[in-house]
């Protein structure tokens, strides 16, 4: 099974407050930097789980972009279809409460507006070698529609990314299976136009649906350190399970385990995520009794 992840790849900056946020004044905290982007995070997580994965994205012609590509290659991700633009690599800045919950996210991602059908045309031969495509809504709506319209029997999964960008998926919802989104994004999308999907609510767990079968699933127990990237880990492990022949609900349990593992580290991707660690987390949590 070979999977292409198409979308965001940028630098993450996480500001962890030492005390609860006090608006309109200086707040003490610490900053950490890592690599991020939904498609990038999903690709790296899939590589940690042993999948053959290719990233299609765009970075800047700068040190950040070069380091991002080098890190992915060392993780086993094919970066041959990551294009380079004569501008800075995109960035995402997350301001987090002491318990790791997000206060505010700031996205500098205009670079992704350049990922047009014309830019992706050269990547099509390699994309057609893949069994499935995962796209994120960092891509322009026209690019998402162009990808969804490509002929072939592959599956197409997608993530809504944010409330502002979720609307870019409206024209292709019927082509997506599964769709990943959270409750806020669901408020601007008719999500069940997608045949299958997963709607997350952080510590509240998720709702998954496949046709008319709809199930609520609780989150795994965890001690959060930073919630950034948890949703991307959930996506990756769910896609891993689906590509391994599991139904959506069993695959989503793997996703919940991966999310729990990820929130307990300071980076957007936990380097210790593996099939072994997923099974260990499933065994530790009494409310989830399926193994990978």
Q: Is residue 177 part of a domain?
A: yes
CATH number, domain containing residue 13: 3.40.1190.20
Query: pLDDT, tens digit, for every residue of 141-150?
Result: 999 999 999 9
For residue 291, pLDDT beyond 80: no
For residue 226, pLDDT beyond 90: no
For residue 289, pLDDT beyond 60: no
- Spacing of C-alpha 153 from chain mean position: 23
List, as own/partner pairs, every contact residues 170-177 make where C-beta atoms lie below 8 angstroms and the sequence separation is at least 24, other chains included: 171/141, 171/144, 171/145, 172/144, 172/145, 172/148, 175/148, 176/148
Query: pLDDT, tens digit, for every residue of 228-268?
Result: 899 999 999 999 999 999 999 999 999 999 999 999 998 88
Phi, psi at 27, each rounded to 5°: -125, 130
> Burial letters for 41-52: b for 16+ Cβ neighbours within 10 Å, e otherwise?
bbbbbbbbbebe
Q: Is residue 289 part of a domain?
A: no
For residue 128, pLDDT beyond 90: yes
Q: What is the mean pLDDT of the chain?
A: 94
Q: How many domains does the chain have?
A: 1
This prediction has a pTM of 0.91
Query: pLDDT, tens digit, for every residue of 158-181?
Result: 999 999 999 999 999 999 999 999
For residue 96, pLDDT beyond 60: yes
User: What does the pLDDT read at residue 287?
Assistant: 52
Q: What is the mean pLDDT of residues 69-87?
A: 96
Q: Is residue 292 part of a domain?
A: no
For residue 21, pLDDT beyond 90: yes
For residue 62, pLDDT beyond 60: yes
User: What does the pLDDT read at residue 286?
Assistant: 64
User: What does the pLDDT read at residue 232?
Assistant: 97
Q: Is residue 203 part of a domain?
A: yes
CA distance 232 to 45: 8
CA distance 85 to 73: 19
User: What does the pLDDT read at residue 292?
Assistant: 47
* Least confident window among 72-76, 179-183, 244-248, 281-285: 281-285
For residue 152, pLDDT beyond 90: yes
Percent of the chain's residues with pLDDT above 70: 98
Q: Is residue 49 part of a domain?
A: yes
Q: What is the mean pLDDT of residues 106-134?
A: 95
CA distance 209 to 200: 12
Q: Is residue 223 part of a domain?
A: yes
Q: Is residue 290 part of a domain?
A: no
Q: Which domain holds residue 249?
A: 2-21+29-284
Q: Is residue 160 part of a domain?
A: yes
Top pLDDT among 211 and 284 is at 211
User: What does the pLDDT read at residue 284?
Assistant: 85
CB 157 within 8 A of CB 4: no
For residue 101, pLDDT beyond 90: no
């Amino acid at each position: 099974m070979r999977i292409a992840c198409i979308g965001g790849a940028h630098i993450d900056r996480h500001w962890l407050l030492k005390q609860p946020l006090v608006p309109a004044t200086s707040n003490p905290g610490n900053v950490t930097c890592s690599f991020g982007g939904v498609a990038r995070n999903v690709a790296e997580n899939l590589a940690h789980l042993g999948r053959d994965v290719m990233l299609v994205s765009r970075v800047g012609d700068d040190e950040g972009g070069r380091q991002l590509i080098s890190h992915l290659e060392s993780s086993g991700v094919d970066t041959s279809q990551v294009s380079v633009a004569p501008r800075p690599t995109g960035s995402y800045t997350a301001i987090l409460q002491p318990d790791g919950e997000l206060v505010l996210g700031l996205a500098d991602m205009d670079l992704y507006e350049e990922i047009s059908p014309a830019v992706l045309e050269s990547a099509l031969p390699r994309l057609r070698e893949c069994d499935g495509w995962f796209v994120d809504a960092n891509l322009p709506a026209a690019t998402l529609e162009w990808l969804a319209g490509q002929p072939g029997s592959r599956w197409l999964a997608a993530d809504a990314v944010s409330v502002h960008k979720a609307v870019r998926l409206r024209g292709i919802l019927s082509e997506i299976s599964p769709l990943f989104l959270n409750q806020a994004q669901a408020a601007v999308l008719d999500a069940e136009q997608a045949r299958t999907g997963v709607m997350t609510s952080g510590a509240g767990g998720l709702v998954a649906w496949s046709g008319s079968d709809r199930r609520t699933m609780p989150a795994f127990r965890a001690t959060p350190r930073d919630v950034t990237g948890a949703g991307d880990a959930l996506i990756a492990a769910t896609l891993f399970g689906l590509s391994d022949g599991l139904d959506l609900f069993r695959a989503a349990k793997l996703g919940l385990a991966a999310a729990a593992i990820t929130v307990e580290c300071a980076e957007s991707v936990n380097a210790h995520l593996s099939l072994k660690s997923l099974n260990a987390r499933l065994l530790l949590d009494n409310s989830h009794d399926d193994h990978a």
